[in-house]
Amino acid sequence: MDRLHNVESVEFKDDMMIIEIDGKAYKFDLANYSKKLLNASKTERGKYEISPSGYGIHWPMIDEDLSIDGLIGIKHSAPSGKKAS
C-alpha cells in the first residue's frame, strides 16, 4: 500500500496542534479545525492513531478524524482507471 503522507509527529501547545507531515511542520488553530480536540483533555489528545495509508489521524477517545489532505489543503487525484468521488 502506498502511503499518501508520512506523519512524523503530532503535538499540542495550548489550543494549537503542530504536526510534522512529509518533513514539514504545520500549525493549526484547533478552534478552526476541531471543536472536539479543542475541548479534549491532554490524555484524549495524546491517544491518536495514524492511518496505515497516511491518509488521516483518528482520536478514538473522542471519536474524531482529520484527513491530512484536508488539513494541509491539497487534493489527491484518483488512481488511473478510477473515477474520483
- Residues above pLDDT 70, as percent of the chain: 87
C-beta of residue 19 within 8 angstroms of C-beta of residue 6: no
CATH code assigned at 38: 3.30.2020.40
Instruction: Determine the Cα–Cα distance for residues 14 and 7; give it in Å rounded to an integer.
Output: 21
Residue 11 within any structural domain of the chain: yes
24, pLDDT greater than 50: yes
Residue 55 within any structural domain of the chain: yes
Residue 28 within any structural domain of the chain: yes
Residue 1 within any structural domain of the chain: no
Cβ atoms within 10 Å of 48's Cβ, excluding its own: 18
Residue 57 within any structural domain of the chain: yes
Residue 18 within any structural domain of the chain: yes
Q: Which long-range contacts (CB under 8 A, 24 or more apart) does 12-20 make?
A: 12/37, 12/42, 12/45, 19/57, 19/71
77, pLDDT greater than 90: no
**Structural domain total, the chain:** 1
